[in-house]
Amino acid sequence: MRIIKAGIQDTVQDFGRYGYQQAGINPSGAMDRYALQVANALVGNDLHEAVLELHFPSSVILFTRPLLIAITGADFSPSINGEPVPLNQCIVVNKNDALQFHRPVSGARACLAVQGGFKLSPWLESQSTNLKAAAGGYEGRALRKGDELICRTEREYSKLLNGKNFRVLPWTADHQSGDNSKEILILPGNEWDRLPAASRDRFLGTPFLITKLADRMGFHLGNEPMDILPGEELVSSAVTFGTVQLLPDGKLIILMADHQTTGGYPRVAHVITAHHSKLAQKRTGEALHFRITDLMTAEQLLQKQQQHIKQLQNACLFKLQSYA
């Protein structure tokens, strides 16, 4: 695969780099890990295999050999050789096919998976790009014009193409896991009880807009300043993807995939893991509506999501066998 036009910030990401946070190395990984798993399931990869995480405007990609790919997550109006192609389906591409994205329809981040994954050296057991450390992924940075990614697959796809430039295989992944609510569910954080009643009511009853200060490290929210009750001075403590912190100016920030490993600001809430994907697909200017839940519900939603992914993986492997 060759990048013939660079996107705004497209990187290689897998499920994340864990086990090194005590050394100050954050996990990184895909922002939408559910979309990553759907893409990998479609092409028969390990669910945690590295993909390209694409933002809009996205890279224009030239395939230098036939490959099996899948695009999931955000809808950026993808096309191959100018012909529209769908999300959540397997696509066999031919040598010299060009993939490009025309306009953002929904979502903020797309995942592009390739059967077999990419031939890249892992850093600390992960291929995820850590932009701050300039390590992992493709030379530790976002993709640029002229970059070439080598794919590990040795399979020959010519028979599947039947003389066509590209071919969309005839099944679609149900990328929904049954949770169609528009609310973002949260669990109370360690300092939730230090919010005055009025601030808690506003947190749960007011929509919050994502400001332009939104990236892979965190989403700053454009809320009216919130108060916090006096108490013991906080020491830096562990934070994670989905931690909602109250900044000194009373504004909120939600930590995302490239979050720091510790923080000293009040942790008023945590977005449940099953809703990280929903959160990751929010764009600047979109509104977030929070609703509090309990740990049992959070666990049940995550189990349901994981079960759906496993069923999808099994179904796709069965389908792909008929095209072996």
Token duo for residue 269: 């809430």
Distance CA 52, CA 50 (A): 7
Q: Profile the chain (324 residues) by mean pLDDT over runs of 10 residues.
A: 97 96 93 98 97 98 96 98 97 96 97 97 97 96 98 86 89 76 93 94 95 96 90 83 96 96 94 97 96 97 96 95 82
**Domain-by-domain residue ranges, the chain?**
2-175, 184-293
For residue 178, what pLDDT is reported? 58
CA 257 to each of CA 75, 98, 281: distance values in angstroms, whole numbers, following the listed order: 21, 30, 13
Q: Is 159 exposed, middle or buried (0-12, 13-18, 19+ CB in 10 A)?
A: exposed
Confidence (pTM): 0.95
Give SS3 for 246: strand
Q: How far apart are the first and last CA of the chain?
A: 22
Q: What share of the chain is helix, strand, coil (3-state, %, to 5)?
A: 20, 30, 50
For residue 174, what pLDDT is reported? 81
β-pairing, 106-114 with 67-75?
A: antiparallel
For residue 150, what pLDDT is reported? 96
Half-sphere exposure at residue 195, Cβ-oriented, CA atoms within 13 angstroms: 27
CATH of 184-293 among 3.20.20.140, 2.30.30.60, 3.30.420.40, 2.40.100.10: 2.40.100.10
For residue 50, what pLDDT is reported? 98
